[in-house]
Amino acid sequence: MKSAILVTGGAGFIGSNFVLEWMDLETDAIVNLDKLTYAGNAQNLASLQSDARHLFVRGDIGDSALVDGLLMQHKPRAIINFAAESHVDRSIHGPGEFIQTNIVGTFNLLESVRAYYETLQPGDKDKFRFLHVSTDEVYGSLSPHDPPFTESNCYEPNSPYSASKAASDHLVRAYHHTYGLPVLTTNCSNNYGPCHFPEKLIPLVIHNALAGKPLPIYGDGQQVRDWLYVKDHCSAVRRVLADGNIGETYNIGGWNEKPNLEVVHAICGLLDELAQRDDGGSYMEQINFVKDRPGHDRRYAIDASKIERELGWRPAETFETGLRKTVEWYLANQQWVQDVTSGAYREWIDKHYVVKD
């Protein structure tokens, strides 16, 4: 490969969308490293099977020998770290995996990258970047009238997931200030869009609605999130990689604060229009309020002024346009949903991909 970047977690929801967009718009090849845990789906990358510019490697960011070998062999000019355990509910029931991947894994990755960076010639060092993708959840929770999170907000994580991501952010910062590693960090709001694993709110509601199942809403449904269409997130990451200032953090948001209940109502409205129930009723009849989860943050909101001011980025999609595209994608890709919910996507990996363990 003449010029390459290394993408970790590139078979997950956000990572695979990023890889597909990059391959359409950029010239660099991609070395795509993903552990293929439950949320990693190589089927998302099916269109790249015959593309020589995309090398998929099954492996863990914590596997130092593997990462060292990939770095020395392919000599990437940049690394984009999407790899993470990311589901809050799973972190509550089993925090160990989150500590191992998000903290220890990030540490091992940084150690490998630091050693690789020291081998680069001065000109290549000047061009190299390590971009760490994180979340707005590291900032904690906002009250209804608090201003949105800016990059200067204190970290106040409230779940094992957000605490592990906060720790990884701090490690990335420390490796810049201590070792001079040229890092960039992005903290994004709630993503939605194609290829979203159907345990998160929007794909779960679409799937359950079409299956005639209850649409579970935590508590009173008034938890507020800022919603960001995944392809907007990908374009922002590319923008930060291209022109972000070394050592800086950029918040990426959609300027779309919505209570969960309003989001569910919007999904039901689109499904009522695009996939009517056989009985003529509304999908809203399937809404079911359930006990709230422990430590559920009340509100997240991102102030994305810095990235717009400094890098000229702003989301292209409104919540309405992005949600319609998302619902239409799920309706058009029912086999993908079936493969994920049945577990068949794991068999697809062995049938269609040569992977390195």
* Identity of the amino acid at 357: D
Residue 127 is encoded by which pair of tokens? 């061009």
Annotated active-site residue in 116, 161, 229, 345: 161
| Residue-wise pLDDT tens digits, 124-134 | 999 999 999 99
Q: Note if 136 is an active site residue.
A: yes
- List of domains in the chain: 4-352 (3.40.50.720)
| Residue-wise pLDDT tens digits, 274-300 | 999 999 999 999 999 998 878 788 999
Q: How confident is the model at residue 352 (pLDDT cuts 50, 70, 90)?
A: very low
| Residue-wise pLDDT tens digits, 310-327 | 999 999 999 999 999 999
pTM: 0.93
Q: Note if 285 is an active site residue.
A: no
| Residue-wise pLDDT tens digits, 154-169 | 999 998 999 999 999 9
CA-only gyration radius of the chain, Å: 20
> What is the pLDDT, as a whole number, of residue 350?
56
Please, what is the average pLDDT of the chain?
93
Q: Note if 317 is an active site residue.
A: no
**86-95, 112-121, 185-194, 248-257: the lowest-pLDDT one:** 86-95
* Identity of the amino acid at 233: H
CA-to-CA separations, 353 to 125, 344, 350, in angstroms, rounded: 34, 14, 6
> What is the pLDDT, as a whole number, of residue 346?
58
What's the mean pLDDT in 212-227? 93
What's the mean pLDDT in 321-350? 83
> What is the pLDDT, as a whole number, of residue 348?
45
* Identity of the amino acid at 98: F
**140-144, 157-161, 337-341: the lowest-pLDDT one:** 337-341
- 212 in Cβ contact with 286 (< 8 Å): yes
Q: How confident is the model at residue 38 (pLDDT cuts 50, 70, 90)?
A: confident
Rounded to whole angstroms, the Cα distance separating 59 from 54 reads 15
- 297 in Cβ contact with 140 (< 8 Å): yes
| Residue-wise pLDDT tens digits, 51-65 | 999 999 999 999 999
> What is the pLDDT, as a whole number, of residue 165?
96
Q: What are the backbone dihedrals phi and psi of residue 153, each rounded to the nearest 5 degrees, phi first? A: -60, 145
User: Quick check: 246 pLDDT over 90?
Assistant: yes
Annotated active-site residue in 63, 136, 226, 297: 136
- 161 in Cβ contact with 98 (< 8 Å): yes
Residue 176 is encoded by which pair of tokens? 């810049």
